[in-house]
Amino acid sequence: MAKVVVLSGAGISAESGISTFRDSGGLWEEYDVDKICRAGCLVDNRDETIEFYDKRREDIKDKEPNKAHEVLAQLKNRYKDDIAIITQNVDNLFEKAGLAHEDVIHLHGYLTEVECEDCRLVYDIGYKKVQDSFNGKCPTCSSNKIRPFIVMFGEQAPMYKRLDEEMQDCELFVVIGTSGNVVSVDNFVVHMDKSILNNLEPSDAIFDELYTKVLYAKATEAIDEIRLDIQDHLKTKVDRLTHNLISATVHMRNYDLDGLTFEYEKDANFLHNYLVKIIKEVDDLSKDEFDAVITKLIVEFKDRRDNKLKKYETREDFNALICFFINDFEYEKIYTI
Ligand code: APR
Ligand code: ZN
């Protein structure tokens, strides 16, 4: 799972005009959390609960992502599987900042979605009131028992399993805008070599000395430093792989590859063994990283051979493959080999 995990809370959306919960003037000062956000509230206090989430859903319609959402969305889109964006927030600001909904792990549900309590269908109603969408009925089974797709206190939170999974391989844990009152972030950070905490001020539920870097500042002010730390952590690996491949190709120049025709079946092993030797000489990649590089290269080799180039008869064709592969690491310029 991801090498970098970013876990956010209400604080990351505060500068977009969405209230936090426990800051002064926060939601839990205005509303009785037991009445509208506790397991059973949809039985004992259904109308007020539905009204509360209808209002919050409508409220996020005109809210825009801020710089913190945008920077994290860019990083996630660039380093895909190496970074996980996990949030306790139910707003859609990461999605508005350019992230696919499936690329954001929402631990406590999602405001624009509702769930049918009979057939369990979850569907998106945008910013409408429950009653104004499909006439308040489930589009599949026509039940009128439609609830906000929100995890209430005391209810199961199935996405916490995803959080635990993502934390397995985490090397850098970034916490932004949460008081730690619900997800006890300290429990994760004790196992981390590197961690960043960004809040406005200390929280009773967070022991900040556990974090390798603490930034008490607005998320939009701290995010540039956080971005650099994340890039430094991730880029090293991607840079290294590219450097190895470039060096490998330069080495190839010194080998007499001219005229060598790669017949896929016979020569793929040659390619594999050759690169194993060359790349290993250049750098000690982890086994997984190395296998990922080689597998991708072999697949690419076969794909290009079957679809475009019948034979890699010259060094130029082979170098084109390496450049193509390097470029696949989203490197803007193609390295001149
Ligand atoms: N930049 C960074 N941090 C901020 C900012 C900001 N602009 N504004 C506020 N914060 C920080 C505060 O310092 C505080 O630590 O955000 C945190 C907000 O804490 P809470 O209001 O408790 O929100 P959160 O931690 O997300 O609550 C967790 O509790 O009520 C439930 O389900 C709800 O998901 C929520 C969960
Ligand atoms: Zn239904």
Per-residue pLDDT of the chain (337 residues; tens, 9 = 90+): 799 999 999 999 999 999 999 888 888 888 888 899 999 999 999 999 999 999 999 999 999 999 999 999 999 988 888 999 999 999 999 999 999 999 999 999 999 999 999 999 999 999 999 999 999 999 999 999 999 999 999 999 999 999 999 999 999 999 999 999 999 999 999 889 899 999 999 999 999 999 999 999 999 999 999 999 998 888 655 555 555 555 555 554 444 444 444 444 445 455 556 566 555 554 555 666 656 665 666 565 556 555 544 445 555 555 565 555 544 433 333 233 2
User: What per-residue confidence (pLDDT) applies to 255?
Assistant: 44
Q: Which atom of ligand 1 is nearest to the CA of 180?
A: 25
Q: Classify residue 336 by burial, with Cβ atoms within 10 Å: 0-12, 13-18, 19+.
A: exposed
Nearest to 144 by CA among 157, 155, 130, 156: 130
User: What per-residue confidence (pLDDT) applies to 139?
Assistant: 96
Q: Which atom of ligand 1 is nearest to the CA of 23?
A: 21
61 DSSP assignment: T
For the chain, report the end-to-end CA distance as a whole number of angstroms: 33
Residue type at 107 in one-letter notation = L
Using CA positions, which residue lies closest to atom 13 of ligand 1?
200
- Measured in Å, residue 130 CA sits from the centre of ligand 2 at 13
Q: Whose atoms come closest to the Cα of 221: which ligand?
A: 1
- Measured in Å, residue 116 CA sits from the centre of ligand 2 at 5
Q: Which of 6, 16, 19, 23 to mutate to test the pocket of ligand 1 (most atoms within 8 A of CB)?
A: 23
Q: Which of 53, 178, 183 to mutate to test the pocket of ligand 1 (most atoms within 8 A of CB)?
A: 178
Tell me which of 69, 108, 233, 272 is the catalytic residue: 108
- Residues 264 and 185: their CA atoms lie apart, in Å, by 50
- In the structure, ligand 2 is a single-atom ion and the residues with CB under 5 Å from it are 116, 118-119, 121, 138, 140-141, 143
Using CA positions, which residue lies closest to atom 25 of ligand 1?
178
Using CA positions, which residue lies closest to atom 35 of ligand 1?
88
The number of beta carbons lying within 10 Å of the beta carbon of residue 288 is: 8
Place of tokens 């450049």: 323
User: What per-residue confidence (pLDDT) applies to 187?
Assistant: 95
Nearest to 87 by CA among 67, 70, 103, 71: 103
Q: Do you know the residue count of the chain?
A: 337
Distance of alpha carbon 233 from the chain centroid = 15
User: What per-residue confidence (pLDDT) applies to 221?
Assistant: 97
Q: Measure Cα distances from 86 to 159, 188, 196, 197 in Å.
A: 10, 14, 15, 15
Q: CA triplet 26, 29, 31: central angle to 5 degrees?
A: 105
243 is catalytic: no
Using CA positions, which residue lies closest to atom 4 of ligand 1?
11
- Measured in Å, residue 197 CA sits from the centre of ligand 1 at 12
- Residues 25 and 8: their CA atoms lie apart, in Å, by 20
Using CA positions, which residue lies closest to atom 10 of ligand 1?
11
- Tell me the Ramachandran region of residue 248: left when phi exceeds 0, alpha when psi lies from -120 to 50, beta otherwise: alpha
Q: Which residues line ligand 1 (CB under 6 A)?
A: 9-11, 14-15, 20-23, 26, 88, 108, 177-179, 181-182, 198-201, 203, 218-219
